[in-house]
């Protein structure tokens, strides 16, 4: 199959949990899935769980256009890892990183919304992978998962 049926929800936790449950049932083994999104405060959390679709259809220039007259530029990236073992309920591990939406794209690095997401004085697109990965939402979610593994397995 090309992927699992993704829930249409306003938050990432139920999407990651259901994705992990579905994949675990299909494969009969422990699985880990990730779902991530960009949540922009001035746009009521948009694009949120629809981030990949919006990035593909609108791209960064149109997201910046939506933010054109907004003074509140605060936003956060969120990543949720869903983990499920056969016969058990899925668990989720969440990581976030707070920042702001830039006024223009900056940087060639990363992917997706990285060139418009300001963390401190620079966008994720201006950071190298090593630097970004030290503070990213995915790293923070993985750290929480690793803490759980160390305590429970």
What is the spatial distance between Cα 135 and Cα 97, in angstroms, rounded to a whole number? Answer: 7
Alpha helices in the chain (DSSP H): 12-27, 51-57, 59-66, 129-135, 137-152
Helix (H, G, I), strand (E, B) or coil at 19: helix
Residues carrying an active site annotation: 35
DSSP state, residue 6: P
């Amino acid at each position: 199959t090309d992927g699992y049926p993704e829930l249409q929800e306003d938050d990432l936790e139920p999407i990651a949990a259901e994705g992990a449950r579905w994949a675990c049932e299909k494969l009969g083994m422990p699985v880990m899935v990730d779902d991530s999104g960009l949540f922009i405060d001035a746009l009521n959390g948009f694009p949120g769980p629809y981030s990949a679709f919006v990035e593909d259809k609108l791209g960064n220039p149109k997201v910046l256009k939506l933010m054109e007259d907004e003074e509140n530029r605060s936003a956060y990236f969120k990543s949720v890892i869903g983990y499920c073992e056969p016969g058990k309920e899925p668990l989720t591990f969440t990581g976030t990183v707070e920042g702001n939406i830039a006024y223009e794209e900056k940087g060639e690095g990363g992917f997706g919304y990285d060139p418009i997401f300001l963390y401190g004085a620079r966008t994720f697109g201006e950071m190298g992978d090593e630097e970004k990965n030290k503070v990213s939402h995915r790293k923070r979610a993985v750290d929480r998962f690793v803490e759980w593994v160390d305590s429970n397995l």
